[in-house]
Amino acid sequence: MKYVLRPVSTLLVGSMLLVSACNQNAGKQETTETETQTTTTANEVKLPARANFQKNIDGKQTDLFVLKNKNNVQAAITNYGGRVVSLLVPDKTGKLTDISIGFDNVEDYTEGADTFFGATIGRYGNRIAKGKFKLEGKEYTLATNNGANHLHGGNKGFSRVVWDAKQVDDKTLELTYVAKDMEEGYPGTLTTKVTYTLTDENELTVNYQATTDKTTIVNLTNHTFFNLNGEGSGDILGHTLQINADRYNPVDSTLIPTGIEPVKGTPFDFQQATAIGARIKDQNQQLQYGNGYDHNYVLTGGNAGKEMKLAATVTGDKSGITMEIRTQEPGIQFYSGNFMEGAHGLKVGKDEFRTAFCLETQHFPDSPNQSAFPSTVLKPGQTYNTTTVHKFSAK
């Protein structure tokens, strides 16, 4: 099913409520204000201008879509790469804080090396060793875009395509993309739908669904870079992090997993809430390989596809904002912003070293080549269906 772009525009003046650009006439594209913004009172921050995200890329129209709940929590998402651009949540004083790192225009997302800021990642999130895997007796070759390995779907991947978008209502956005057979080297035509929902319980829910016409591999995730103290507020080393995992995947020097080991007695033990920076400089080979944390954790609570389980809880040391992540996925990749180099100007400040972190719910890296890991194979007639929830609070 092809969706028509019907973005929600917001124009908040004084105490005006969100104005929705979604109408009830199927197939009709809405005419709305050209910008999405908030007022600049003491308790609010600006969202990027909608006009900065309206561009024709690869023959398709990009735009900016805004979700908002009754608590004034807001998520701005572009259909270019299915990216979370801004995420405004109140801190412990009630002040709205943008905790998602990114740009204020679509051009910065399209230029240069892919930063993956906020992006939907596919067809396979994380790394595949040497860009090769076998499936049903046939070997497939993918792009090696991360040293000797394949990363996050390839040279283009899902993070650099324009998704078809349907604004369902003020709280829900549906994005769809059809990846052709052998696109980026993957077999099968994959039809993917990603649904973002912002609830009145301050939860941003991301549901991923996919079907294929040939046996393939799928591992979808979201790559939002977070700073719970707010974009431009400095490093994230004072954030406290708890990960519901007693095991993790150690890696080789190219960051490909070498197995599963306990976290106990290592700097990777976040079973109790611990500052991200507490052990990040320890003399540890795994930390040296990743230049910090860039590892998958094996979540406690069973395999993917079952009940939602707590994956991680993070709290900003300055803002008091807490993010709790629940998921149906078996793993979560913790990345501590080790390769941020200050090369990009953001909505506020630059992407300086370790000024953001990522927690990507997922199947394990290199699963197609490691039979001991949960399978990422999807066959015709099956539906890939997985949900991750980010819940926000502050105190």
Annotated binding site for beta-D-galactose: 126-127, 294
**Both structure tokens of 263:** 């976290």
Is 360 among the catalytic positions? Answer: yes
Tell me the CB-side half-sphere exposure of residue 48, using CA atoms within 13 A: 28
Question: Catalytic residue among 150, 174, 184, 223, which?
Answer: 223
3-state secondary structure of 106: helix
- Are residues 136 and 215 in contact, defined by beta-carbon separation less than 8 angstroms? yes
Q: Is 155 exposed, middle or buried (0-12, 13-18, 19+ CB in 10 A)?
A: middle
> Could you confirm whether 344 is annotated as catalytic?
no
Pairing of strands 384-394, 203-212: antiparallel
Contact 140, 187 (CB under 8 A): yes
Q: What is the four-CA torsion angle of 195, 198, 200, 201, rounded to 10 degrees?
A: 90
Q: Tokens 């009940």 appear where?
A: 307
CA distance 98 to 232: 9
Which residue ranges make up the annotated binding site? Answer: 126-127, 294
Place of tokens 């590892």: 295
Euclidean distance between CA atoms 368 and 241, whole angstroms:
30
What does DSSP assign to residue 257?
B
**Burial of 71 from C-beta contacts in 10 A (0-12 / 13-18 / 19+):** middle
The count of residues in the chain is 395
Angle of CA points 154, 252, 135, to nearest 5°:
45
The Cα–Cα gap between 309 and 216 comes to 27
Give the active site residue among 152, 360, 363, 390. Answer: 360
Q: What are phi and psi of 158, to 5 degrees?
A: -75, -15
Catalytic residue numbers? 223, 360
